[in-house]
Amino acid sequence: MEAGYGAASMDHIASEAGVSKQTVYSHFGAKDALFEEIVSGKCSELMFAEGLKAGPDDEPEVVLYEAAKIFLNVVLSIESITLYRTILAECGRFPELAEAFYRAGPKRASERLGAYLSAVAARGRLKIDNPTAAAGLFFAMLRGDLYLQCLLSLRDLPDDAEIAKNARTVANAFIQAHRA
């Protein structure tokens, strides 16, 4: 993150890790694969590492509120904001970077939440025609003005109370839009 994706050489990465360049290559093959692994790890930390830990009988209001808090706490961390800024700055020259990020992060999170929403919809608890698209909209609502202001350094990062308030607002709006 310090040097940026394009400027970070495999020699420098190996040196910082205290291993040989050959070791890095033998584990990851290329810089884009290494970056995808880093992004994937961060995204697993971000949301539902082993799938959403909720069953279709759990209250959607509670599950979505908790999911929203987790998501906001991670994307509004300085580490995540720095990562996202790096991806935006480099994706024009390195489209594989954007693809790796999208696969490991937004796409995976939407698929995982979509699987939960599909199960909830199948039980008639919510009315959702396209669960994966609905999950994407849920995350898009969370990445609203608060996130944009933080990303642009227009304000300080929110505290837990503000994150909880935003998470509740989005979860409630989503539930209202998809009531059975």
**CATH number assigned to the domain comprising residue 110:** 1.10.357.10
Residue 23 has pLDDT above 60, yes or no: yes
pLDDT for the residue numbered 48: 52
Q: Residue 83: pLDDT band by 50, 70, 90 thresholds? A: confident
SS3 68: helix
Structural domain boundaries enclosing 117: 34-177
Q: What is the pLDDT of residue 139?
A: 96
Whether residue 10 lies inside any domain: the answer is no
Q: How many domains does the chain have?
A: 1
Position 15 in a domain: no
Q: State residue 61's pLDDT score.
A: 95
pLDDT digits (tens, 9 = 90+) for 119-178: 999 999 999 999 999 999 999 999 999 999 999 999 999 999 999 999 999 999 999 999
